[in-house]
Structure 1
Amino acid sequence: MIKELVAGVVATTWKRLHGPAQWRILWLKHATFMIGVTGVVLDDHDRVLLLKHRFWKDCPWGTPSGYIERGETIEAGFAREVAEETGLTVGQVAIHKINSGFRLRMEVSVIGRLIGAAEPQVDGVEVTEARFFRRDELPDGLRASQREVILAAGATS
């Protein structure tokens, strides 16, 4: 009886709150976590952009990656990360796969296309080298999840 009474009061109060107040309560109650994005960038010859990452110890070469910023779409966040890391412009970004179940993050794989014919320019801090590779010339040591999205990009191009 008391349980139903409390539930009724909570429901009535909840319904009287407006959207922003409801969202704030939900935000405080639920875990917040980061959204990581990694993906394939294809050029006009269907070659794959790979970056040599200074801070990755297990495999130096990999696809462009980073984290989505607050208020940013996944597609825009990936394009921003590629631009920051290489100076290249990416468009036609499509979500390939979402991986969840991690404690503090979820990961999204995307596939995009290079816009224009520019060569990658790296700052040498986070990324030390950027090159386009044919699929039959991929370097050893790529993560399995990155190889999977590279293969998927080949199936859609």
Structure 2
Amino acid sequence: MATKQPTAGGEEQIELESRLRNGSLLMALAGVAFIGYGIVFLILNFVGSGFELGVSTLGGMTKADLSPTVAYYISHLHVATAAFIISTGIAVTALSWYGVRQQLTWAWATAVVAAVVGLGLALPMHYTADAFAHDWLTHLGPIYLATIVFVVGVVLAYQGLQSS
């Protein structure tokens, strides 16, 4: 029985589809990591140090050492920040899993813009003055790892989208 041999164009199409599938999966996994980072951020506010991941004190002061009004304000900001990290992660995950896999370029672009705006606004502040001590690895390591996974996924998915 004779079998059809894939043509060179068919192999290229399969590779592009694989890149799209793998890229959208990596983008979605990074979105899930963003959600996880936000959840950890939220949990630490209530049951941890009261500060961000990788931050145990502010100038040697714990949350208990702060004015109750200042401590509550910091808590308020942490909850709001966690909410936006989680909601961005949900958007990136949904756009990547449901939109990018369907070859919707607008979904790919929206996921990229959502992540870039969030990271682009949040990360530079960490490189200004060292106003408080923090462990760089635990504070920024998880989000950088998720960002690397996301960028690899973005590139793979973009290559796969070019086939449509």
TM-score, length of structure 1 as denominator length: 0.26
Structure in which a larger fraction of residues adopt helix: 2
Structure in which a larger fraction of residues adopt strand: 1
TM-score, length of structure 2 as denominator length: 0.25
Q: Which has the higher contact order (CA 8 A, sep 6+)?
A: 2
